[in-house]
Amino acid sequence: MGTRKTATAKSEQQDLSLSEQPDSYFRKSRFSALGSDFYSEVSPTPLTAPFWVSCNTSAARLIGASPKELFGEQGLLLFSGNREIPGIKPIAMLYSGHQFGVYVPQLGDGRALLLGEAQGSEKNMEIQIKGAGQTPYSRGADGRAVLRSNIREYLCSEAMHALGIPTTRALCITASHDPVYREEKETAAILTRLSPSHVRFGHFELFYYRQQPHLSLHLANFIISHYYPELQHEPKRLMSWLKQVGIRTARLIAKWQSVGFTHGVLNTDNMSILGLTLDYGPFGFMDSYQHNFVCNHTDTHGRYAFSQQPRIGLWNLHALVQSLSFHLTQDETLEILETYTPVFEETWLGIMRAKLGLMTVQPDDETLILDLLDLLDRNRIDYTRFMRQLSRFNSSAQPHDNSALRDTFPDRDSFDAWANRYARRLSQENSHPVERALHMNQVNPKYILRNYLADLAIQQARQGDFSEIDRLLALLQHPYDEQPDNGHYADLPPEWASSLDLSCSS
């Protein structure tokens, strides 16, 4: 991991060892059977003299692959766009979507290609390379991704998985010295990611606005058959399926809110039909808690602020349901949409109770939790550190005896008032401090991918040192463990971290 290996261009492939041959793991994707209305066949644009940046052995095992074979010379060529799997043509998916609330008639994979599919021990996984060059859907862009953005997605998708949040997975990063121009001159990289499906809400919107309802229904039947097979024989299976998509989406966003994660670009084309976190761009885990935290500096109106994510999830679900409205009654449409909010609220409240160590359900729990978040917001308290330290709260002491927590608040009187209420709530269920701390530390991570940590890894990588990427990957795969040798990764961020800007190119 993190060792640079170079590879030659296509003309020299025959000189490479055939003992490292990953092709046997891959087959043609099931999505390709849908036909040319849904995608275009495209050959990737090769990276020049590619090299490995990082390889994720955990993700390799997910598809039942041998890391030695997958991450050998042939794999390097495959995942850098220098070769194709014999008999399988890469495809770029076609879709549309609402971007910042405005419908864009055609989007599609402008820089990503689906190489094929692998059959893992539990499920089939699509293999997609991101940054593989221009496609018919690039809209004049170069189709490349830069090293910076791919490092961020690589680390965050694996961090989210370890936090128990549904997500696409990251297999590896390959790179080269090919120049790419964004806000400044950068270098090209390709991220290989895994997902059971990369189908988005925007896939269905495309056919709605093109007035091709037969194609939206064809795609819906495909998704139900392969990814929701338990619904195939439901009498109202389309409605039942959309309700399940809404449930998965609601639960996903509730989990985001519980860890302080902001996606940044919740367009409908970035919403997974499977309820996965998809397309990591200007994401951000909050440092100090802010209700209206905006991680994307191009989101000038705060449409995708942290506090707005639950509402936007419902808005996007409405766009999806509308795209299939040719096949639904008005009553069915309302029933689907009415499922979302109760599921979100129940999921979020359940997670937050667990984060506070509350084992029973009491009527005032939501008020206690919301008042805490208001308190954190007013005092700009580091969210992750506070929730982790709360496991050491002494419910039998006077508030000032919980000094490690209390002293972080400029407004100590407000903390004392809340702490008294929290202590009384814990006493109602005879909470045992040791057991409570154990449970709380299983749901309150010590380590998250703070933006400044990702930035440090990126700066080192630009100098040719990829060791910090691998170090962070290993750390973030165990976010709830103490990891004494890595405790400094849980420290408060330095002052300069607040000046980091993220945009849609991040």
pLDDT tens sequence across 157-185: 999 999 999 999 999 999 999 999 998 99
Asked if residue 504 is part of any domain, the answer here is no
Query: What is residue 2's three-state secondary structure?
Result: coil
Domain for residue 77, yes or no? yes
Residues 234 and 302 in one domain: yes
- The rounded distance, in Å, linking the Cα atoms of 332 and 481 is 45
- Cα separations in angstroms, 472 against 263, 357, 469, 481: 20, 28, 5, 14
Give Cβ neighbours of residue 439 (< 8 Å, ≥ 6 apart): 354, 357, 359
Q: Are residues 113 and 20 in the same domain?
A: yes
Of 392, 408, 430, the position where a domain reaches its end is 430
Q: Which domain holds residue 407?
A: 360-430
The pLDDT assigned to 166 comes to 98
What are the catalytic residues? 269
In a domain, 76, yes or no: yes
Closest CA to 207 of 67, 322, 291, 298: 322
Are both 265 and 288 inside the same structural domain? yes
Whether residues 188 and 222 fall in one domain = no
Domain membership flag for residue 415:
yes
Domain count, the chain: 3
Task: Let me know if residue 119 belongs to a domain.
Answer: yes
* 468 assigned to some structural domain: no
Residue 491 burial (C-beta neighbours within 10 Å; 0-12, 13-18, 19+):
exposed
Is 285 in the same domain as 366?
Answer: no
Choose the final residue of a domain: 322, 353, 384: 353
**Cβ(245)–Cβ(76) below 8 Å:** no
Intervals of the chain under pLDDT 70? 1-20, 121-122, 397-400, 502-506
Both 371 and 302 in one domain: the answer is no
Same domain for 182 and 244, yes or no, is no
For residues 320 and 225, state if they share a domain.
Answer: yes
446 within domain boundaries: no
79 and 210: one domain? no
pLDDT in tens, 58-86: 999 888 888 988 999 999 999 999 999 99
Determine the number of helices (DSSP H) and then strands (DSSP E) in the chain. Answer: 16, 13
User: In sequence order, what are the residues at sequence separation of 6 or more whose Cβ sits closer than 8 angstroms to the Cβ of residue 353?
Assistant: 359, 361, 365, 369
CA–centroid distance for 490 within its chain:
21
Q: pTM above 0.75?
A: yes
Q: Are 473 and 155 in contact (CB under 8 A)?
A: yes
Contacts of 304 (CB under 8 A, 6+ apart): 262, 263, 264, 265, 266, 294, 296, 312
Q: Same structural domain for residues 182 and 81?
A: yes
Query: In this predicted structure, what is the pLDDT of residue 400?
Result: 62
Q: Which of 136, 164, 198 delimits the end of a domain?
A: 198
Give pLDDT, residue 3: 42
180 and 45 part of one domain: yes
Are residues 454 and 397 in contact, defined by beta-carbon separation less than 8 angstroms? Answer: no
For the stretch 457-484, what's the b/e string if a residue is b when 16 or more beta carbons lie within 10 angstroms of its beta carbon?
A: bbebbeeeebebbbbbbebbeebbeeee
The amino acid present at 34, given as its one-letter code, is L
In a domain, 437, yes or no: no
Domain match, 170 and 25 both: yes
